[in-house]
Amino acid sequence: MSRRYGFTLVELLVVIAIIGVLIALLLPAVQQAREAARRMECTNKIKQLVLASHNVHDTYGTFPPAGGKSNGWNATVQRDGPFKGLAGSFLFHLLPYIEQNALYDGTIAAGGNMNNSVNGKQCYRHIIEAYRCPSERSPAAATGLGYPTGPDGTHAISNYGVNYMPFCDRATNNQEGASNIAMMTDGLSNTVFFGERYGQCASGKSSLWANSSGTWAPQICRGRNVNSGTCPVPQITPIYTSAGDSSSGGSSPHPGAMNIGFGDGSVSNVPGTIDPTIWANLTNPIDGKVIGDY
């Protein structure tokens, strides 16, 4: 008479429990590896934005303005320099230097008006992956703030904001400024050019690099007077409320820290617990202060 061998119910439950524990131990490691890869990709994107900024400077002898005031050509937009009369965010003027010449040239050919169609849709409906952090996880809709990552995905958001303070008009504290390397007296390696931002398109909290009204721009430290103001520290905790305020010091979906790009092309990260004085020194290009460890 033959016997049948097999697992008892208890043995089966023990095996299932062990497998469950192993999976539970493995998942955080997988998530951390994925986030590390996303952070590395984000770091590379910020570096490319800094390099594109310098390519603009090499071409025109000046950086683009921090932002534009209205759609189309406007004599009040950047009072001096090659961008005089042309509206558009800092990131809009980087388009030809990140392999988006067709979109930039098409918009300029249409009078600079972002409501005009380029390749079948308005400029502000083109999604540029170079401007999106791979860790961004804004909800499709929440509290009426109108996040542009869903459901249609047709808003020109950027998760990277240019630092308002180096690129504003220092005499008037207006975003339509003109600046060059010589004006960064603290040195490029001590001046933040870019920081991260949550994707939003709500009034006053927008991170749209292009939009139908032309009045919003993805910036950090927005409106902070370079001669007397200070930039607030970044908000790292992923909350989608005031963290995306355009006057904030930035906000990050990465756990624990926000990536920042310096004027010399180096990329680092800062924690939400960074000393406010150190962060103020990093974001101000002319304060002459010695920067401590962060």
Q: Which comes out higher in pLDDT, residue 12 or 193?
A: 193
Is-contact 163 283, C-beta < 8 A?
Answer: yes
pLDDT band of residue 283 (cuts 50, 70, 90) is very high
CA dist 15 and 74 (Å) reads: 71
pLDDT at 154 over 60: no
pLDDT at 201 over 70: no
pLDDT at 249 over 80: yes
Cα within 13 Å of Cα(166), Cβ side: 35
pLDDT at 282 over 90: yes
pLDDT at 233 over 80: yes
Tell me the average pLDDT across 76-99.
Answer: 76
Query: What's the distance, Cα to Cα, between the start and end of the chain in Å?
Result: 76
* The model's pTM: 0.81
pLDDT band of residue 1 (cuts 50, 70, 90) is low
pLDDT at 66 over 70: yes
What's the pLDDT at 278? Answer: 92
Q: Residue 117 phi/psi, 5° resolution? A: -80, 135
Tell me the average pLDDT across 123-129.
Answer: 80
Instruction: Please provide the average confidence, as pLDDT, over all residues in the chain.
Output: 78
pLDDT at 135 over 80: yes
pLDDT at 122 over 80: no
Quick one: 229 exposed, middle or buried, by C-beta within 10 A (0-12, 13-18, 19+)? middle
